[in-house]
Structure 1
Amino acid sequence: MDLPPDDWLSHALLDGTQAGVAVLDTDLRYVFVNPALARMNGVPAGEHIGRTTGEVVPGVDPREDVLRQVLADGLSREAVSSGQTRADSVHARRYWHGSYHRLEDPHGRVRGLGAIVMEVSADRETQREVERTRERLLLLDAAAVRIGSTLEMERTCQELCDLLVEVIADVATVEVLSLAGDGHRPAPPGMLRLRRAAMAARVPLAGKVGQFGVPGEYVDYQRGSAIPTCLETGRPVVSNYGSDEALSRSAPNPERVAAYRAAGIHSGMVVPLSARGARIGTVSMVRAGDSPAFTEDDAAVTRALADRAAISLDNARRYSREHGIAVELQRALLAAPGTPHPRVDVATRYLPAGATDLVGGDWFDTLALPGGVTLLAMGDVMGHGVEAAVEMSHYRSMLRVVAGDFMRAAGTVGARAPGRILRRLDDLLTAAGAERPGTCLIGLADPACGGAWFANAGHLPPAVISPDGDVSLLPVPPGPPLGADLCGRYETVRVEWPGGHTLLLYTDGLVERRTEDIDVSLERLAGLSLPQAAGPLDGLLGGIVSRLAPTAAEDDVALLAARARIGA
């Protein structure tokens, strides 16, 4: 070795380390830089000497405030600086972690600073990516809680818009494709028509965006604009409107450009909504004023939220379609009950469950039978939806056939007629392989003898209402439900039915509450006082519904009232 030990050690340490090492004088001008720092800055080491950091690499914030504090009090400090040097880099912005200490000569005089610098750009990007991932997870968690709280499509769309305006956009809208048969007019040639399902905006823009359409309206979009392009490609469309020409191409139609500029809109993004391979519509967002332009990161976050929301929207759309079919089917089946004998007045009422529940299998019927007897029937098929509505029509049709055949063969009611009718009906349903058991209460009402015969297959008991408005439950013991293959016995009970008294049949949706025992629910019915009891039957049923039926019914409600005509 021809170098003194301290010289070769110094060279080995300073030249071999990957850390940038520098010595600065009291004016913060370079006195020494090692090769690593020269490479970081992209400037030869000799060109640093006598110059400040700002002169060598003007694109870097050197944190001179920290350096002067170290010179002033002698306390070592660490700081992070950022910017871009003259060296090539894959990072859009570079970051360095520096450690600074004051240098003093043997006599205690301050001679400058020592600096050791390490680039941490990759670490900072990794940290930012972790933070972005965490933010996305938090947003997805929020979406899981806040989007799809009901099966109402418009409300689900509004929940999505409200969340997007909180975290990403200044204005957010959801446009949905029209379903076949929704009655909307076709779009003009060369245009695509969608329905605006929801909209939300931050306060500064809330009063300005109404001119562009409100929820429920149809909006026509020119081909090649952002929304049709997004639907055709299935990919997000991010548009930063640097010119009116670019804004005109992206807008639904060129006439909106002036209004968009007046509102300060400068950036837009459209993300597709699709679920289970089917297109639902799009989510559109804009930023205005001082808000930054949309980025690809914004598109990725919004796409994740849209994918989560699309499942809820598809569920809501499927539900809406099935719910509508079920309601119309059930109403059609219940719209024309059979005709009672002329001496019997009958009124019925049906209330479907709330908007978030599928309709059930509630049904009722009346039918004139031989011998002046009128069949009164009330039933409830297990389950909800279209299948339950279809099944209840089978029950009703089969009961008509069985009751008619029985009365034609017997000629009179007889002490066991209703029980035998139910027994026969149960045998036929079991043999036919009925998929859904059901309850059924039937009565054979004969005004000529002032009485009615009842039998019960798992249903709630009938009631009788006096002309004074008192309600009494009739003791008709329940047998097993129909179609359950239990081979049960159905007991027939005769009740008095004087003139002016009203027989009431109903389903459990009228009285049952999930939070209480059924006996308590029935006592509520029996405790009613109905001053309108002697009036028209429709008014009587209306009074019962207003007193008992919950505002947001959890189950369907069906009622049937029958009264013998006095003197007929």
Structure 2
Amino acid sequence: MDALGSDAAREYRMLRQIVDGTNAGVAVLDPRLRYLYVNPSMARWTGIPAEDHIGRTLAELLPRVQRSEDVLRRVLHDGQPREQILSGSTLASSAFENRSWRSTYHRWEEDGRVLGLIGVGLEISAPRHYLRTLESAHRRLTLVDAAVARIGSTLDLDTTCAELAEFMVPGLADVATVEVSAEDAPGRARPPKGVLRLRRAGMAAVPELLDGVRDFGGPGAYIDYQAGSAIPRCMETGWPISDNLASDEELRAAAPQPERVAAYRALGIHSALVVPLLASGQAIGTVSLARAGDSPAFAPEDIRVAQALAERAALSLAKARRYTREHTMALELQRALLSEPTLPHSDLEVASRYLPSGTGALVGGDWYDTIALPGGRTLLVMGDVMGHGVEAAVAMSHCRSILRGLAGTGVDPVGILHQADHMIMTFGFDRVATCLLALVDPADGTCTYANAGHLPPALIRPTGGTLLLPVRPGPPLGTGFGGYEALARPLLRGSVILLYTDGLLERRDEDIDTSLRRLAALDLPTDAPLEAVLDTVLALLAPAPAEDDIAVLIARVRTA
């Protein structure tokens, strides 16, 4: 063999070692895209011996692998190398259910004749799986971030449940309902043993299914779930339950009641997913999702997303339940402590109103009182303990009792405030209180005011307009500073005295002086019934919803 032949043989052996030893898959195809050669790596990918490839096409060998033959034919036609991604499953075992390869195809030609194609590829299943995992995680985070903004916008449990159901449709499901633990439904007998009763607190559906799913019970309805059905199992185990493409028998066992299956089928519902709402490890309810018609069955990724959203929503729901319970307890306590004012003397008309806040976390310490005194006099009281909650309500009750006791001693309004200030500080209350007193004396036609850090009283005049009385405000009660002054004013015939707490006027985005000017601008008839006057004052001044508790007391000397 001459030197040239020897070099060619050595080069061939070297190339063969490279092709046979590389991790890349190498294949040679004829012009009809039939295999002429595959290297060992290619055979390992496919799970088919190399010799069994010869003379056959990829579609014949592996019909579940997707490849565009148009791309290969263009390479045969113009000789321009091209890349494409192949994906699917082969006969070889793999950690990936769906595998992917990136392949480059070159035209093989000799002496101007096109002999076929040479393809070289690398498996990219692992990096593509990693990328899909990252994209999936990003989608979940995006959804959860969006949920943070949209779910739990209030401390109302039903509103939060409605927001959660609406968020799930149509992104995750065609139908979504939220059920929460509940006491027995009013007017209904207790459920049979083994039956779980929940209250539906939220529901949403795509438009074409909305009317149909309303027949299953809308928000506020109590639903009984048969033993062993999906929702009781989910709440018992704390794990999601998925019923994809369920048979009628499976659906009958999973449904709240077996007779619902026909209605589900009529709506085209084929898959269901139930996710628990867990708070401190306890199931407080569930989110139920359903897909119908052409919608796909629930995938594992859907379950993970639904769980992430349910976990986020459960935090808001737990907070809403806790708020509702604490708010109710505090409000009941405050109403118990805020007993009805004593009756004024018969020559004085009064009307009062207490409105708890619509947005605050807990009730406040607002109170009012009317105390009949000797000589036909009546002491009007308006006060506000700093802070909110049960402690504020209890402190309010103490302040009110102290003022009632001091009023009976016969001291004037300034003396009452001085002694109350000292007593509250001495008793060690950890909260101060503002307080406004108005001593009405129809006999001598005067009203004497004294103020401990409160907003000024107002006088609605029969001649028109509202006057803010310049009563100098001393320190709040409980500071121990004292320094209160009285302001005596004649009682104008037919005028209405208006005492109030700051919740009537204050706005977060408004200076208090602006709020006081709005009060001073009131021009109300004073000859109407006092309840009507009070209703008008609240309608014109009270914010909706109230950002703080509101207490209002109005009084008018009766005319003969």
Class of the TM-score when normalised by the shorter of the 2 chains: over 0.9
Tell whether the 8 Å contact from 2:245 to 2:297 is kept in structure 1 after alignment: no
Q: 1:54 corresponds to which residue?
A: 59
Letter in 2 for 1:371: G
* Aligned partner of 1:545 among 531, 538, 541: 538
Tell whether the 8 Å contact from 1:455 to 1:493 is kept in structure 2 after alignment: yes
1:364 aligns with 2:368: yes
Decide whether aligned partners of structure 1 residues 21 and 475 sit closer, same or farther in structure 2, where only a CA change above 3 A counts. Answer: same
1:486 Cα deviation from its structure 2 partner: 4.2
* Aligned partner of 1:446 among 441, 455, 462: 441
Q: Distance in 1 between matches of 2:307 and 2:150?
A: 17
1:294 aligns with 2:287: no
* Aligned partner of 1:255 among 250, 259, 264: 259
Q: Deviations over 1:462-493 (max 9, x none)?
A: 1222333432122210000112x241211112
SS of the residue corresponding to residue 488 of structure 2 reads: strand
1:386 aligns with 2:390: yes
Tell whether the 8 Å contact from 1:161 to 1:198 is kept in structure 2 after alignment: yes
1:422 Cα deviation from its structure 2 partner: 0.5
1:181 Cα deviation from its structure 2 partner: 10
Q: Distance in 2 between matches of 1:385 and 1:25?
A: 84
Unaligned segments of structure 2, at least 5 residues: 1-5
Q: Distance in 1 between matches of 2:460 and 2:100?
A: 85
1:183 Cα deviation from its structure 2 partner: 8.1
* 1:115-126 superposed matches below 5 A: 115-126=119-130
1:87 aligns with 2:81: no
1:357 Cα deviation from its structure 2 partner: 5.2
Q: Deviations over 1:315-344 (max 9, x none)?
A: 111112222233333334445111212222
Q: Distance in 2 between matches of 1:522 and 1:356?
A: 22
1:51 Cα deviation from its structure 2 partner: 1.9
Q: 2:3 corresponds to which residue?
A: none
Letter in 2 for 1:287: R
1:162 aligns with 2:157: no
Q: Deviations over 1:368-408 (max 9, x none)?
A: 12333211100111112332222211111111012213x1x
Q: Distance in 1 between matches of 2:183 and 2:475?
A: 44
1:95 Cα deviation from its structure 2 partner: 1.3
1:303 Cα deviation from its structure 2 partner: 0.8
SS of the residue corresponding to residue 375 of structure 2 reads: helix
1:525 aligns with 2:529: no
Decide whether aligned partners of structure 1 residues 14 and 59 sit closer, same or farther in structure 2, where only a CA change above 3 A counts. Answer: same
Q: Out of 496-505 and 267-276, give the one that drifted further.
A: 496-505
* Aligned partner of 1:490 among 472, 484, 493: 484
Q: Distance in 2 between matches of 1:132 and 1:96?
A: 21
* Aligned partner of 1:284 among 288, 308, 318: 288
CA RMSD of aligned residues (A): 2.0
* Aligned partner of 1:514 among 505, 508, 514: 508
1:534 aligns with 2:516: no
Q: Distance in 2 between matches of 1:68 and 1:2?
A: 35
* Aligned partner of 1:343 among 341, 347, 350: 347
Q: Out of 262-271 and 277-286, give the one that drifted further.
A: 277-286
Tell whether the 8 Å contact from 1:357 to 1:554 is kept in structure 2 after alignment: no
1:241 Cα deviation from its structure 2 partner: 4.2
1:363 Cα deviation from its structure 2 partner: 0.7
Tell whether the 8 Å contact from 2:185 to 2:222 is kept in structure 1 after alignment: no
SS of the residue corresponding to residue 4 of structure 1 reads: helix
* Aligned partner of 2:454 among 436, 452, 459: 459
Letter in 2 for 1:101: H
Q: Out of 216-225 and 552-561, give the one that drifted further.
A: 552-561
Q: Out of 464-473 and 314-323, give the one that drifted further.
A: 464-473
1:348 Cα deviation from its structure 2 partner: 0.9
Q: Distance in 2 between matches of 1:185 and 1:450?
A: 63
1:196 aligns with 2:190: no
Letter in 2 for 1:556: D
Q: Distance in 2 between matches of 1:346 and 1:59?
A: 86
Decide whether aligned partners of structure 1 residues 523 and 44 sit closer, same or farther in structure 2, where only a CA change above 3 A counts. Answer: closer
Letter in 1 for 2:543: P
Q: Out of 46-55 and 64-73, give the one that drifted further.
A: 46-55
Letter in 2 for 1:49: I
SS of the residue corresponding to residue 334 of structure 2 reads: helix
Q: TM-score, normalised by structure 1?
A: 0.94
Q: Distance in 1 between matches of 2:516 and 2:44?
A: 88
Tell whether the 8 Å contact from 1:341 to 1:373 is kept in structure 2 after alignment: yes
Q: Distance in 2 between matches of 1:68 and 1:28?
A: 9
Q: Distance in 2 between matches of 1:185 and 1:374?
A: 53
Q: 2:138 corresponds to which residue?
A: 134
Q: 1:400 corresponds to which residue?
A: 404
Q: Deviations over 1:399-439 (max 9, x none)?
A: 1012213x1xx6xxxxxx21111010011111111122110
Q: Distance in 1 between matches of 2:63 and 2:177?
A: 44
Q: 1:422 corresponds to which residue?
A: 417
Tell whether the 8 Å contact from 2:76 to 2:117 is kept in structure 1 after alignment: yes
Q: Out of 456-465 and 222-231, give the one that drifted further.
A: 456-465
Tell whether the 8 Å contact from 2:225 to 2:231 is kept in structure 1 after alignment: yes
* Aligned partner of 1:37 among 29, 37, 42: 42
1:564 aligns with 2:554: no
Decide whether aligned partners of structure 1 residues 181 and 562 sit closer, same or farther in structure 2, where only a CA change above 3 A counts. Answer: farther
Q: Deviations over 1:179-229 (max 9, x none)?
A: 589887522333110000010001221121111111100000001000000
* Aligned partner of 1:175 among 176, 179, 184: 179
Q: Distance in 2 between matches of 1:496 and 1:517?
A: 31
Decide whether aligned partners of structure 1 residues 256 and 448 sit closer, same or farther in structure 2, where only a CA change above 3 A counts. Answer: same
* Aligned partner of 1:472 among 460, 467, 475: 467
Q: 1:413 corresponds to which residue?
A: none
* Aligned partner of 1:214 among 196, 214, 218: 218
Tell whether the 8 Å contact from 1:26 to 1:71 is kept in structure 2 after alignment: yes
SS of the residue corresponding to residue 482 of structure 1 reads: coil
Q: Distance in 2 between matches of 1:453 and 1:60?
A: 95
1:527 Cα deviation from its structure 2 partner: 2.1
SS of the residue corresponding to residue 196 of structure 1 reads: strand
Q: Distance in 2 between matches of 1:501 and 1:76?
A: 97
Decide whether aligned partners of structure 1 residues 385 and 469 sit closer, same or farther in structure 2, where only a CA change above 3 A counts. Answer: farther
Percent identity over the alignment is 56
Tell whether the 8 Å contact from 1:104 to 1:111 is kept in structure 2 after alignment: yes
Q: Distance in 2 between matches of 1:335 and 1:68?
A: 92
Tell whether the 8 Å contact from 1:459 to 1:478 is kept in structure 2 after alignment: yes
Q: Out of 167-176 and 545-554, give the one that drifted further.
A: 545-554
Letter in 1 for 2:448: W
Q: Distance in 2 between matches of 1:479 and 1:278?
A: 52
Q: Distance in 1 between matches of 2:13 and 2:404?
A: 111
Decide whether aligned partners of structure 1 residues 464 and 356 sit closer, same or farther in structure 2, where only a CA change above 3 A counts. Answer: closer
Q: Out of 280-289 and 35-44, give the one that drifted further.
A: 35-44
Tell me the matched-pair count: 555
Q: 1:321 corresponds to which residue?
A: 325
Decide whether aligned partners of structure 1 residues 52 and 523 sit closer, same or farther in structure 2, where only a CA change above 3 A counts. Answer: closer
Q: Deviations over 1:499-544 (max 9, x none)?
A: 423222111222223333322322222222112x023221221222
1:356 Cα deviation from its structure 2 partner: 5.4
Q: Distance in 2 between matches of 1:48 and 1:315?
A: 64
Letter in 2 for 1:476: V
1:86 Cα deviation from its structure 2 partner: 2.3
Letter in 1 for 2:275: V
Unaligned segments of structure 1, at least 5 residues: 411-416
Decide whether aligned partners of structure 1 residues 182 and 280 sit closer, same or farther in structure 2, where only a CA change above 3 A counts. Answer: farther
SS of the residue corresponding to residue 66 of structure 2 reads: coil
SS of the residue corresponding to residue 88 of structure 1 reads: coil
